[in-house]
Each structure stands twice: as C-alpha cells, then as structure tokens.
Structure 1
Amino acid sequence: MTVELFAGIPVTDRPAALGWYEKLLGRPPAFLPNDTEAVWELAEHRYVYIEVSPEHAGHAMHTLFLDDLDAFVSEAAARGIQPVTRETYDNGVRKIIYRDPDGNEFGVGGAPQ
C-alpha cells in the first residue's frame, strides 16, 4: 500500500501562521497552492498544510515521531519557538507539545533517551 499524507491545520491569520510554522519547521513552505494555504513536505509524500478557516482554527492536533527529538527541539528553540509542555510516558516515549498562534497542537515525539 502506498501512503501519502496531507494533514491540515486550520488557522485564522495566514501570515502569522506562515511565520510561526516556518520557525517551527525550520524552512519555508514547499509550495503555496493559493492565497489561503501553505504546504510543507515533511518527508516524501507526507505533507502538513495550513489553511485559513477561522471557524475551525485552534482545534487541530498532530504529532510527528522523529529520529532525533532533541535536535528538533533545540533547533526550534534557536528559532524562537518554545514548547508549552513536555511529557514522558511510562514506557519512556517523550512528547513535546507546541501551540501555534491559534492554539492548534503540534506535537513531536521520540523514543526514550
């Protein structure tokens, strides 16, 4: 089975969200399909996008699992993005939660240290 992913995040203010996600992800979007969206390719055929949709903004919840969680958190901090919470589950898996300007949850997780 081939898997492609487009995970959407509703926002109220495209320029504000665009700047925030550029800082979080460390790069500009891969493409801008129109005046209301911006798309980042996280891995081959796996995308996350913002879309102006004020009535739905603030309710998204996404989590990525990364090989090097600590490097991602460090690099995001260097770009001015700080997590709102850090969790460690009983099995040692860690999850770092960020919130964009609308309150959408963008989590990153990783294996135990």
Structure 2
Amino acid sequence: MRVDLFAGIYVSDLDAAKDWYARLLGTDEAFRPNDTEIVWELAEHRYLYIEVNPEHAGHALQTVFVEDFEAFVAGVSARGIEPATRETYENGVRKWTYRDPDGNEIGLGGGPVEAESE
C-alpha cells in the first residue's frame, strides 16, 4: 500500500514564509495547488506544505529526520537560518529546532554522530 504524507503549517504571509522555507529546506517549491498553499517534496511521497491562515499561524510542531544531519544543518546555516534550540538526547540523537517568522517550530533531527560515520 502506497501512502503519501502531507504535513501542513499555517502561516500569516505566504511570500515571507515561502522564502524562509526555501532557505530552510534548500530547495524551491515542488508545486502550488492553489493561491494560498505552497508544497515542498521532502522525499518520495512525503511533503511539507504551508497554507495561509493567519488565525492559526504559529502553532505548528513538525520534525523532519534527515540522513546526513551535519550537512543538512550546515546548509541551513549557510542560507542564513540558525536554530532556536539545539538538543542531544541520551541516545545521541540530535534535534535542532528552527522557528519560522510566525513562530512555527520545525525540528531537524539526526542520528548519533557514531551512527552517521558507520
């Protein structure tokens, strides 16, 4: 059974959010289904989208686990976005949390350093 996942985030300003998410994700949008939504494909059948809904903007909590954590977060920093928090759990898993202009939290997670070098 094939499953597609669309994780949505409400934003107040589509243009400002588009720029921020393009810098965070390091890629342009995949498509625009309408005038109020923008979609990025993170991996096959896995999408993150933003949608204008000012009354609900700023309350999202999403975490994306990436294979090459070091390279991904270095790219985000190179594009001018720094994490609001950095956490390393007891098992070595790392999570950097970023906040978009509305305050939505996007976590980037990665495996322990030892696991990445194997």
Distance in structure 2 (CA, Å) of the matches to 1:94 and 1:25:
18
- TM-score w.r.t. length of structure 2: 0.93
Q: Which runs of 4+ in 1 moved over 6 A?
A: none
2:15 is matched with 15
Distance in structure 2 (CA, Å) of the matches to 1:91 and 1:76:
24
Superposed CA RMSD: 0.7
Distance in structure 2 (CA, Å) of the matches to 1:83 and 1:31:
26
What runs of 5+ residues in structure 1 fail to find an aligned partner? none
2:112 maps to 1:112: yes
Distance in structure 2 (CA, Å) of the matches to 1:33 and 1:53:
15
2:31 maps to 1:41: no
2:50 is matched with 50
2:116 is matched with none
What runs of 5+ residues in structure 2 fail to find an aligned partner? 114-118
Distance in structure 2 (CA, Å) of the matches to 1:27 and 1:73:
14
1:87 is matched with 87
Distance in structure 2 (CA, Å) of the matches to 1:83 and 1:25:
13
- Paired residue secondary structure (2:87): strand
- TM-score w.r.t. length of structure 1: 0.97
